[in-house]
Amino acid sequence: MAGIYVHIPFCKSKCRYCDFASFPDKIHLAESYMACVYREMSMRKEDLKDYEFDTLYIGGGTPSVVDESYIAMLVTAAKKYFNVKKGAEITIEINPGTISAGKVEMYEKCGINRYSVGLQTAINSQLREIGRIHTLNEFVTCAKLLKGKNFSVDVMIGLKDQTADDVIKTIEVASAFGASHISMYALSPEDGTPIYTDYLNGELPDGDEVAEMYEAGVKKLEELGFFRYEVSNFAKKGKESRHNLNYWRRGEYIGFGVAASSCINNIRFTNTFDLDEYFKCILSGHLAVKSREEIDGEGQEEEFIFLALRTAAGIDLEEYKKRFNCDFTEKYSSAIAKTSKYTELSDKRFYIKPEYLFVQNSVIVEFMR
């Protein structure tokens, strides 16, 4: 199984915590940018002709900020240039401040069947604080437009002045309005973003407070019928994100657009983060790859272990043997013994106990050389 990712790097304004490739002042370039993405796809067509793609993920930035006809053309281009499986999962990220009934109608028509909505928090003062353009009311309107459809909601924890009750309220709102999937991420203050100053000033919740919010969130999610299948991801039965599962299973993926990453044939390559350079490359008939790294056998194994241990299912021992031609339990017997308080070993799987998934890094490190 392989996935396609397309990066749409435009937003209405920059959130205070954002260090993604997004350019709020360049939205007037959206039409030319999309034309370049279609062209980049056509350039990759030949190389990927033997691949079958099970997912297409349109992320950003804010894909819902650009004209819906560009998105429809994008889905059409992906289906034209690549072998996109019948029944493929096709997701678009939506900001509740940039959605309309017309957009949802067009998305449905072109085959989009999954939505990822960036709510982050149901507390308006916190939304303002982190620089989101939408309010809780706008989320409610958006969720009503998506009624009966398969949609995920992003929830952030670790925001300034946020409490465990705020997290619970946010989850309750997302669930009440029909979310089938919830991603609950801890804010990561990145150097160079305005929120980093708040972090340096000690204004953000500390590690213990964030852990408390996470625990409260997990409890509420479980009560509401969402099961945890990855450290930050919770779904109703059968509603896991196939696109993300492919990443965690170390499947192959191809990325299009500025800053998009790919991993094909154990070669990881990433496009330039510079929008002008992206335009120049594509318009002159060249790919816009900026960095390229070949992953050797050891690297592949480390990635496989690292990614699998993020998931509730953990490492499939048979799959490990098939890929690396050795027995996981023999090779890592001492690390398994050392982490036994936090992990579980069955005939088929090795995984981190659900209650310790949040501190997975301290377990995973024992398996890295």
| Residue 355: DSSP 8-state | G
In this structure, the dihedral spanned by the alpha carbons of residues 258, 263, 266 and 269, taken in order and rounded to 10 degrees, is: 0
| Residue 97: DSSP 8-state | G
Exactly one of 1, 20, 43, 224 binds ligand SF4 (CB under 6 A); that residue is: 20
- Rule CB under 6 A: is residue 14 a binding residue for ligand SF4? yes
- Rule CB under 6 A: is residue 55 a binding residue for ligand SF4? no
Integer Cα distance of 11 and 161 in angstroms:
26
Q: Quick one: which segment of 9-17, 75-83, 136-144, 253-261 binds ligand SF4 (CB under 6 A)? A: 9-17
- Rule CB under 6 A: is residue 62 a binding residue for ligand SF4? yes
Q: Quick one: which segment of 8-16, 157-165, 167-175, 299-307 binds ligand SF4 (CB under 6 A)? A: 8-16
Exactly one of 4, 11, 75, 143 binds ligand SF4 (CB under 6 A); that residue is: 11
- Rule CB under 6 A: is residue 60 a binding residue for ligand SF4? yes
- Rule CB under 6 A: is residue 196 a binding residue for ligand SF4? no
Q: Which two tokens stand for residue 155?
A: 């929830």
- Rule CB under 6 A: is residue 164 a binding residue for ligand SF4? no
156 with 120: CB under 8 angstroms?
yes
- Rule CB under 6 A: is residue 58 a binding residue for ligand SF4? no
- Rule CB under 6 A: is residue 15 a binding residue for ligand SF4? yes
- Rule CB under 6 A: is residue 63 a binding residue for ligand SF4? no
Q: Which amino acid is at 124?
A: N
Q: Which two tokens stand for residue 258?
A: 């500025």
Q: How many helices (H) and strands (E) does the chain have?
A: 15, 15
- Sign of the CA dihedral with 206 first, then 210, 216, and 219 last: negative
Q: Which is nearer to ligand SF4, 95 or 183 (CB)?
A: 95
Residues across the chain: 369
Give residues in contact with ligand SF4 (CB under 6 A). 11, 14-15, 18, 20, 22, 60-62, 95
